[in-house]
Structure 1
Amino acid sequence: MLAGFAAGTAAGILGSTSAAHAAVSELVWATWESNGHPEYVTAFEKETGTRIKLSFLSSEDAQFAALKTGSAADWDMINPSLNGSWRYIKAGLLKEIDLSKLPNAARMYDVLKTTPKVLDDSGKLFAVPYLWGLNPLVYRTDKFDNEPDYTTLFDPKYSGQLAMRDYALESIAIAGLVAGVPRDKVFLMDAKELAEAKKLLIAQKPLLRTYWQTIGDLTNLFATGEVSCAFSWRVPYDELKGKLPMGMAKPKAGIMGWCDCFGMPASLSPEKTELALKFADYLLGAQYATEIARIGNYATTSSIIRDDLTKEQQAAIFVDDMEVMKSFMWPVAPDNYSDWLKIWNEVKAS
């Protein structure tokens, strides 16, 4: 049902663009492995005659650094987070986006369509939220008597079976929660609170099997039995739940929500900019929403297919009750994020 619904819409939106952009043979999209499966972009490639070359990211910090140093000169489209976009905007790394060029933006959920987090101080738009969800704890249900929470990730009882993401913002925030910092302050920790989080993370390090960088690597570690609990994306749960006893926990201390945005490097050529905007509109359209819901169990920021899904399909991607967004902790890179990065590097070097 999903594939059939989206096919006609994609053809209508994209059919007129193929001849006009035949000269652009390739666009390089820097994004996460879970967002950019080749199946997700096939319709766009077919209709425009343009190949979407996928360049998978290891972390947002690495993406930001690559843009700032100019080492990612071949990227045509990038993937800043909703709560980290301000760094790119402040550094002048992004091209302004004309929202009138994105017809599908009209169907975006209001809370994401009107967010000021993708605007500069004058109100100009530089990034477009297109995908959102939650980051749970994924675990082997046969290894735990009770559902794990964030304290499990610091428990010597599970030494050698745990994994954390190699990302300062979320990992330090989790340590802050375990240290007792209130959820509404955890991304605004002062020096004393950051020091306590650092102590916990240094004590945690020998308990970990690894700091994971790609979700594919973490999925493999679950599959081989090397990891039984990790702060994760939902991918390992979805890919392995039919083969292994897998669980997905939503810690009461706070569920880490995420939202990915579409952006363009400030130096992108006019020709590529025009086609990249077509691709941004595609990300908000029915075809992409259908494929990523069907394969990845993720929801886009548009309601374009929501009412055509069954209740079970809506529940699978957390759009059956939009109030769930209110229970999320939205990671926010603080003004002193350089201090967080310094702490994270010291933890890993300890």
Structure 2
Amino acid sequence: MKSTVLFATGAALALTTFSAQADTLRLLTWGGYAPEDVVAKFEAETGHTVEVTKSNNEEMVAKLRATNGGGFDLAQPSQDRIAGAQAEFGIYKPLDMSKIDTSLFIPSMLEATKGNTMVDGEVYGVPHVWGTSGLVVNTAMAGQVQDYMDLCDPSVAGKVSYRLKRPTLIGFAFSMGMDPFAAYADADAYQAILDKVEAQLIDCKSNVKTYWGGGDEIKNLLRSGEVTASMAWDTGGWQLNDDNADITFVAPKAGALGWIDTFAMPARGRADDAAYAWINFVMQPEIAAMITTAAGNFTASQGGDAGVDDALKAKYQASFPQEAIDNIKWYPAVPAGLEALEGATLDRINAAK
């Protein structure tokens, strides 16, 4: 690739070159999202340097609160951790979408993230790395399980597992024909949905082998055959597929539940040009493939799966044809008080006989 890189057509988009004005990008991110080979390639091609600080959602917000949005030029919080933090603490600044090559992004993910990170009509986040929870199924033994509600079918009685956590409530709500995310702003409407899901999950208890707590636990249950159908994460299903071709991740008919880690710009960042250059650089398909290899999750880069290891790419494409990607239910910001309602519901389900 040439030392001067035009990331997109159009004079409004970033053209990054070696120059005396090259900045240091202070990046606040997750492990695997800025691998050394990608950083080296970016520095060589743009003249910018990169300082990487690894973090997580809670630490990102805490660091940016402590500095009123200073100390970093680009951060990568999950999309459901932006609007609330911005409204309460003012730690981010709006993105200038004219400086981002939006053609590099999977359209449905870009639009979902823009909508979920909007405050006062301004966009504060665009998508980067994503993953989902849905179904991990032994297709030879429970191939009929295609949606969350199928976990309650008598054909898999005693062979089912899921967590007693909020994703289970949300997944079952969607599978029952309701939209829990649409009810987020109305606590009474949300409670009415929870009540219906509670009754269903209590009725389903006889099908459940165990409620799993950790990733290793559910993987071992599926490996042993004690469990043939479960709610779990996509990467776990693909890992199991390495050992048993019958076990894999299935995107539920009602939609997998998706999380997205974003690009967001701290309010007092000072290297905006370097930040926009990084976004446009890492969203290129060949660079996105390098990040998927390092992080283990796919990115929102359009065509970014093409350069990934053939085995992982095949699993991803089998689990996520385009219609399954477009049907992902992306987590919006959680309003105050909602998790307390969910916690009480989960407690009642757990205690029910």
Using the size of structure 1 for normalisation, the TM-score is 0.66
> For the structure 1 residues 97 and 311, does the alpha-carbon distance in structure 2 shift closer, same or farther, using more than 3 Å as the test?
same
SS in 1 for 2:265: coil
Deviations 1:59-118 (A, max 9, x none): xxx57975797599987612222x66433443334222223443x434334555556515
2: CA distance between counterparts of 1:310 and 1:45? 21
1:253 equivalent to 2:254? Answer: yes
Q: Work out the CA distance in 1 between the residues paired with 2:67 and 2:217.
A: 24
Does the aligned pair in 2 maintain the 1:141–1:247 contact within 8 Å? Answer: yes
The answer to whether the 8 A contact 1:297-1:316 is kept is no
* Pairwise CA distance, 1:216: 7.3
Specify the code of the residue in structure 2 equivalent to 1:16: F
Aligned length: 320
The equivalent residue for 2:37 is 42
Distance in 2 separating the partners of 1:327 and 1:84: 22
Give SS of 1:231's match: strand
Q: One-letter code of the match for 1:86?
A: A
Q: Kindly provide the amino acid, as one letter, of the partner of residue 284 in structure 1.
A: M
Work out which of the residue numbers 68, 92, 95 in structure 1 matches 2:93: 95
Separation in structure 1 between the aligned mates of residue 85 and residue 194 of structure 2, nearest angstrom: 24
Deviations 1:108-162 (A, max 9, x none): 3455555651564553221112345653311334653643531355679666862
Give the match for residue 329 of structure 1.
Answer: 329
- One-letter identity of the residue aligned with 1:20: A
Q: Distance in 1 between matches of 2:76 and 2:84?
A: 14
Q: Is residue 283 of structure 2 the alignment partner of residue 284 of structure 1?
A: yes
Which structure has the greater CA radius of gyration? 2
Match for residue 340 of structure 2 among 321, 342, 345: 342
SS class of match (2:122): coil
1:53 aligns to 2:53 (yes or no): yes
Q: Report the AA paired with residue 246 of structure 1.
A: I
Alignment match, 2:240 = 240
Deviations 1:167-220, CA, capped at 9 Å, x for gaps: x3x332123246x3x2446642443222233455577788544344xx678657
The 3 A distance-change label for structure 1 pair 345 and 151 is same
Q: Distance in 1 between matches of 2:55 and 2:223?
A: 25
Q: Is the 8 Å Cα contact of residues 176 and 197 (structure 1) preserved in structure 2? A: yes
Corresponding letter in the other structure for 2:163: M
Residue 149 (1) aligns with residue 147 (2): yes
Distance 1:39 1:240, change over 3 A: farther
Equivalent residue in structure 1 for 2:18, among 16, 19, 23 = 16
Instruction: Please tell me whether the aligned partners of residues 285 and 305 of structure 2 are also in contact (alpha carbons under 8 angstroms).
Output: no
- Amino acid across the alignment from 2:339: L
Alignment RMSD: 4.9
Local SS of the residue matching 1:241: helix
Q: Cα gap change, 1:198/1:161 in structure 2, threshold over 3 Å: closer, same or farther? A: closer
